[in-house]
């Protein structure tokens, strides 16, 4: 028998103890979810309204300050929510050393996507 | 189909099991082999087939599924009666836990036709054909239907399920108003059968750290007790991405609790307390 | 001590392989899978914005991709994933606020979420197709 097998059941259950953390992530996932309800509905309705429209019309819509503002908010809330959701999924299913790598990669990916989307939105708004 | 009470057995199920391979993520020693088919009793008029999970720790064999045929005219009405009948009439080595045979001790919890329930409070007439009997899902198995609950009880011990008070003991009992007492309803009735925890997918994947619905319901029972004075420390110990927040409100727990309790709600209440104390 | 069979690690009883799918667990995993799908669609949204920012040529290419059969099928999938995740999300927010925990409410809201997401998907597409027809 190895030492680890002789650890008491309570010792194993306690593990490294409570992180005294978790409310924050949980709350932010909900807050971003609430924000996404109007934002995603706005986006869905808008895209449906522009179904079949040509480039010029779509660009005219995208250039409106309201669109730029809402699109920026949508991108930030969307990728924040995505990052928190994917974090939970990775933590649930990945138990190897890959976990940290995946978490960091996922975070960076979400951040990169959010920034790219924002830059594109601003370029459309202020570009030539 | 709207389920209203946890004791309802669904008569329409689109999917009998999730479309995953039989041995999905199963270690070599846990793979289930073909077992033995015991002949039907001669002369029986009403017979029911039971496919039962078996594991014998004293042999080198893997777990297997044995098939039994129970003479319903010679047997009581509940699943536990059928198991006792098999043990008495067919195979005395069939091993399972039971004590009260009336749903108050929590010993006979097992997976019956795919969901967890107490064998003593499930009617044979409600079973599928063939009936499938497994131990509680996702448990380390000691023998046949007997699961090793050590880790689950250690997790229970972890939340210190007893009164923690700094006020020195009064002359007589610690008083509680009728209202304060009523707040424990739906929490104190838990019989620690672990049907809920064993049916919780989140506990399957992270049971080493996630406390699971049974233990969290008990944690809430002590958080709710008006006589307890360690609420803050209790919440500190629970606030953890794994201990508490692995609960994703799947609600398999509430669906399966044979006492009709609501562990999912109890957990949501803990999460609400943690929000409440922040602001 | 001689090695006895009981020294073997104990087997683990089956979990997902045998546990009956129920509305509770099926909608939970559906919420998760649609969430992952929507993450991919979010990347597509960024690609679309970038193409729009890049100019009419890039935009036309992306639009023709979306207009292809596969593109439309993926867009239909996106719409359904979005509405299912939205309805499921609203259910979750209600639970987090402490409402809808009776089994009856769990099942009623679950089936409502399924029906609503299909209806809203259909509605979105009918309106979209009608409007696109008018635009041309
Ligand atoms: S509500 Fe939480 S504890 Fe209950 S089955 Fe779901 S994840 Fe498990
Ligand atoms: S909450 Fe219900 S299912 Fe869970 S251990 Fe208690 S009695 Fe059993
Ligand atoms: S034997 Fe006690 S609960 Fe079934």
What is the reported pLDDT for C2?
47
Q: Round the average pLDDT of chain A to a whole number and report it.
A: 94
Judge whether C116 and C124 are in contact, CB under 8 Å: no
Q: Of B124, B60, B129, B65, which Cα lies nearest the Cα of B94? A: B65
The length of chain A in residues reads 128
Rounded Cα distance, B82 and B38, in Å? 14
pLDDT band at residue B24, thresholds of 50, 70 and 90?
confident
**CA C16 / ligand 2 centre spacing (Å):** 20
H/E run at residue A76? helix A65-93
Average pLDDT (B254-277) is 97
Tokens (6 digits) for A17: 């103890």
Sign of dihedral through CA atoms C42, C47, C50, C55?
A: negative
From residue C82, alpha-carbon distances to A109, B33, B175, C37, C39 in Å are: 21, 42, 52, 9, 10
Please identify among residues 167-196 of chain B the ones whose CB lies closer than 8 Å to any CB of chain C: none
Average pLDDT (B197-216) is 97
Dihedral, CA atoms, B153, B154, B157, B158, nearest 10 degrees?
-140
Is C135 contained in some domain? no
- Total Cβ atoms within 10 A of residue B170: 9
Disruptive mutation site among A23, A28, A33 for chain C (greatest number of C CBs within 10 Å): A33
The CATH 3.10.20.30 portion of chain B extends over: 28-147
**CA B83 / ligand 3 centre spacing (Å):** 13
For atom 6 of ligand 2, which residue has the closest CA? Answer: B190
Protein fold of A21-125: 3 helical TM bundles of succinate and fumarate reductases (1.20.1300)
CATH entry 3.40.80.10 includes domain B28-147: no
pLDDT digits (tens, 9 = 90+) for B125-146: 999 999 999 999 999 999 999 9
A53 touches C at CB < 8 Å: yes
Helix, strand or coil for residue B126? helix
Helix, strand or coil for residue A119? helix
Pocket test for ligand 2, best of B218, B259, B267 (most atoms within 8 A of CB): B259
Residue C136: is its pLDDT beyond 70? no
What is the reported pLDDT for C3?
47
Bridge partner residues of B37 (DSSP):
B67
Least-confidence region, from B31-45, B114-128, B245-259, B263-277 = B31-45
Rounded Cα distance, C87 and C104, in Å? 17
Residue B12: is its pLDDT beyond 70? no
Burial class (CB in 10 A: 0-12, 13-18, 19+), B144: buried
Gyration radius of chain B's alpha carbons: 21
Residue found under tokens 């987090």: C96
Is C36 contained in some domain? yes
A40 touches C at CB < 8 Å: yes
pLDDT digits (tens, 9 = 90+) for C38-86: 999 999 999 999 999 999 999 999 999 999 999 999 999 999 999 999 9
What is the reported pLDDT for B21?
87
Is C132 contained in some domain? no
Residue B70: φ, ψ to 5°: -100, 135
Tokens (6 digits) for C81: 């994933």
The closest CB to that of B155, out of A13, A21, A25, belongs to A13
Task: State how many domains chain C has.
Answer: 1
Helix, strand or coil for residue A122? helix
B55 touches C at CB < 8 Å: yes
Sheet holding B131-134, edge to edge: B33-37, B64-71, B47-54, B131-134, B109-112, B115-118
**CA A17 / ligand 1 centre spacing (Å):** 21
The length of chain B in residues reads 279
pLDDT band at residue A128, thresholds of 50, 70 and 90?
low
CB contact under 8 A, A91 and B244: no
Rounded Cα distance, C100 and C97, in Å? 9
Least-confidence region, from A1-15, A48-62, B33-47 = A1-15
Rounded Cα distance, B80 and A50, in Å? 64
Bridge partner residues of B71 (DSSP):
B47
Is C15 contained in some domain? no
pLDDT band at residue C89, thresholds of 50, 70 and 90?
very high
Residue B55: φ, ψ to 5°: -150, 125
CATH number at residue C86: 1.20.1300.10
CB contact under 8 A, A27 and B275: yes
Helix, strand or coil for residue B49? strand
What is the reported pLDDT for B15?
83
Judge whether C68 and A5 are in contact, CB under 8 Å: no
H/E run at residue C25? helix C23-54
Residue C1: is its pLDDT beyond 50? no
Q: Of A26, C100, C113, C29, which Cα lies nearest the Cα of B254? A: C100
Is C134 contained in some domain? no
- Give the domain extent around C111: 23-126
Residues 6 or more apart whose Cβ sits within 8 Å of residue B116 = B109, B110, B136, B137, B195, B196, B198, B199, B256, B258
Q: Of B182, B263, B268, B248, which Cα lies nearest the Cα of C99? A: B268
Rounded Cα distance, A97 and A84, in Å? 20
pLDDT band at residue B1, thresholds of 50, 70 and 90?
confident
H/E run at residue B69? strand B64-71
**CA B260 / ligand 2 centre spacing (Å):** 8
Question: In chain B, which residues have their Cβ closer than 8 Å to the Cβ of C15?
Answer: 137-138, 201, 204
The CATH 1.10.1060.10 portion of chain B extends over: 150-162+176-276
Please identify among residues 47-76 of chain A the ones whose CB lies closer than 8 Å to any CB of chain B: none
Percent of chain B residues topping a pLDDT of 90: 90
For atom 3 of ligand 1, which residue has the closest CA? Answer: B213
Rounded Cα distance, B203 and A41, in Å? 34
CB contact under 8 A, C135 and A62: no
Q: In terms of pLDDT, which residue wins out, A82 or C1? A: A82
Is C121 contained in some domain? yes
> pTM of the entire structure?
0.94
Could you tell me if the ipTM is greater than 0.95?
Answer: no
Helix ranges (DSSP H) in B183-262: 195-198, 201-206, 212-224, 231-238, 252-256
Is C64 contained in some domain? yes
H/E run at residue B225? none
CA atoms within 13 A on the CB side of B44: 15
Rounded Cα distance, A71 and A116, in Å? 12
What is the reported pLDDT for B42?
87
Q: How far is B101 from chain A (nearest CA, A)?
A: 29
pLDDT digits (tens, 9 = 90+) for B149-179: 999 999 999 999 999 999 999 999 999 999 9
Dihedral, CA atoms, C47, C48, C54, C57, nearest 10 degrees?
120
Q: How far is B213 from chain C (nearest CA, A)?
A: 14
CATH of region B150-162+176-276, choose from 3.40.50.720, 1.10.246.90, 1.10.1060.10, 3.90.550.10: 1.10.1060.10
What is the reported pLDDT for A127?
82
Is C71 contained in some domain? yes
């Amino acid at each position: 028998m190895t030492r680890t097998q002789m650890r008491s059941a309570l010792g194993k259950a306690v593990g490294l103890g409570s992180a005294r953390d978790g409310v924050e992530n949980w709350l932010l996932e909900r807050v971003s979810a609430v924000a996404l309800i109007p934002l995603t509905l706005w986006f869905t309705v808008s895209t449906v309204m522009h179904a079949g429209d040509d480039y010029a019309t779509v660009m005219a819509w995208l250039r409106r300050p309201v669109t730029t503002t809402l699109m920026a908010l949508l991108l930030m809330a969307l990728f924040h929510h995505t990052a928190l959701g994917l974090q939970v999924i990775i933590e649930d299913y990945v138990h190897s050393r890959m976990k940290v790598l995946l978490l960091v990669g996922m975070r960076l990916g979400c951040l990169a996507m959010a920034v790219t989307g924002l830059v594109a939105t601003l370029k459309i708004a202020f570009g030539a | 189909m709207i389920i209203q009470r946890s004791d309802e057995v669904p008569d329409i199920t689109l999917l009998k099991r999730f479309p995953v391979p039989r041995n999905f993520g199963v270690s070599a020693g846990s793979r289930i082999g073909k077992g033995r088919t015991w002949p039907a009793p001669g002369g029986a008029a009403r017979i029911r087939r039971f496919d039962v999970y078996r594991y014998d720790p004293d042999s080198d064999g893997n777990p297997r599924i044995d098939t039994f045929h129970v003479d319903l005219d010679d047997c009581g009405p509940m699943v536990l009666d059928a198991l006792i009948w098999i043990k008495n009439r067919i195979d005395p080595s069939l091993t399972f836990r039971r004590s009260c045979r009336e749903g108050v001790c929590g010993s006979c919890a097992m997976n019956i036709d795919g969901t967890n329930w107490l064998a003593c409070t499930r009617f044979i007439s409600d079973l599928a054909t063939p009936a499938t009997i497994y131990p509680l899902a996702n448990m380390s198995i000691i023998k046949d239907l007997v699961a090793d609950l050590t880790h689950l009880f250690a997790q229970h011990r972890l939340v210190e399920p007893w009164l923690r008070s700094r006020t020195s003991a009064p002359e007589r009992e610690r008083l509680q108003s009728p209202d304060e007492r009523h707040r424990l309803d739906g929490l104190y009735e838990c019989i620690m059968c672990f049907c809920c925890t064993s049916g919780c997918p989140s506990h399957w994947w992270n049971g080493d750290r996630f406390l699971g619905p049974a233990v969290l319901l008990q944690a809430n029972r002590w958080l709710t007790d008006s006589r307890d004075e360690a609420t803050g420390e209790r919440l500190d110990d629970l606030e953890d991405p794994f201990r508490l927040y692995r609960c994703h409100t799947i609600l398999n727990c509430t669906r399966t609790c044979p006492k009709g309790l609501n562990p999912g709600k109890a957990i949501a209440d803990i999460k609400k307390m943690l929000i409440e104390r922040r602001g | 001590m001689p090695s006895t069979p009981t020294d073997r690690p104990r087997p683990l009883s089956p979990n997902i392989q045998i546990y009956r799918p129920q509305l509770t667990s099926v909608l939970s995993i559906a919420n998760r899978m649609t969430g992952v799908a929507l993450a991919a669609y979010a990347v597509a949204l960024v690609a679309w914005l970038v193409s729009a920012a890049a100019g009419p040529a890039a935009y036309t290419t992306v639009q023709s991709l979306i207009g292809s059969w596969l593109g439309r099928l993926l867009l239909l999938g996106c719409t359904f994933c979005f509405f299912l995740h939205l309805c499921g999300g609203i259910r979750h927010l209600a639970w987090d606020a402490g409402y809808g925990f009776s089994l009856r409410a769990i099942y009623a809201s679950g089936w409502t979420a399924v029906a609503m997401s299909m209806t809203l998907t259909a509605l979105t597409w009918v309106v979209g197709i009608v409007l696109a027809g008018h635009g041309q």
